[in-house]
Amino acid sequence: MVYKFRVILDAEEDVFRDIAILEDDTLEDLHNAIFNSFGFDGMEVASFYTCDETWNQEDEISLFDTGDVPGEQKIMSDYQLSDILDKQNTKILYVYDFINMWTFLVELAAVEDQVVGNLYPETIFSHGEMPDEAMEKNFESDNADDYNAEFEDGLDEDDLDMFEGDDSFEDYGFEENWN
């Protein structure tokens, strides 16, 4: 079977690619197809993230083993597409280049019979131009205000004046380290 994906760049303008790839290809094969179809050189680190129906990020599947024990962590080449994605689980996130954070929404759009003579993976449709820079990401949780309110101590800058002129701190004589 052939999996057909729509890969959408998280950007202000519509930029997406439709990619056809065999269901028994790996996530690494999909990674290669994505960076090629968007014109990247493939020299940067990338990861896929499983997610729920509303694109909430779950487990990371990296390109390389970054664990403490070599071989303990499964990587992209360890997963066939059909291991992760099917008609019920259609969404996965893809992040390319952790400096620029190019982020893509990858959705399984169709599962079809393989066309004899076609070479897979292939980009079957391309829309939009890549922007010069990735969108800036805001890494704040949805409930950040609730978290901050829970730990509000009620102190302001005037409260810190209580330490001015306080000579009760012991002098350990390390001034030579501060020159």
In this predicted model, what pLDDT tens digit does every residue of 38-52 receive, in sequence order?
A: 999 988 999 999 999
Could you give all domains of the chain from N- to C-terminal order, each with its CATH number? 2-127 (3.10.290.30)
pLDDT at 148 over 70: no
Give the sheet arrangement for strand 16-22, strand by strand. Answer: 57-62, 46-51, 91-96, 102-112, 2-9, 16-22, 122-127
pLDDT tier at 69, thresholds 50, 70, 90: confident
pTM for the model = 0.74
Average pLDDT over residues 155-175: 59
pLDDT tier at 161, thresholds 50, 70, 90: low
pLDDT at 135 over 90: no
How far is Cα 24 from Cα 36, in angstroms, rounded to an integer? 19
User: Structure tokens of 11?
Assistant: 């950007």
pLDDT tier at 136, thresholds 50, 70, 90: confident
Average pLDDT over residues 57-76: 87
For residue 123, what pLDDT is reported? 95
Q: Percentage of residues in the chain with pLDDT exceeding 70? A: 76
pLDDT at 132 over 70: yes
Higher per-residue pLDDT: 131 or 31: 31
pLDDT at 1 over 70: yes
In this predicted model, what pLDDT tens digit does every residue of 105-125 receive, in sequence order?
A: 999 999 999 999 999 999 999
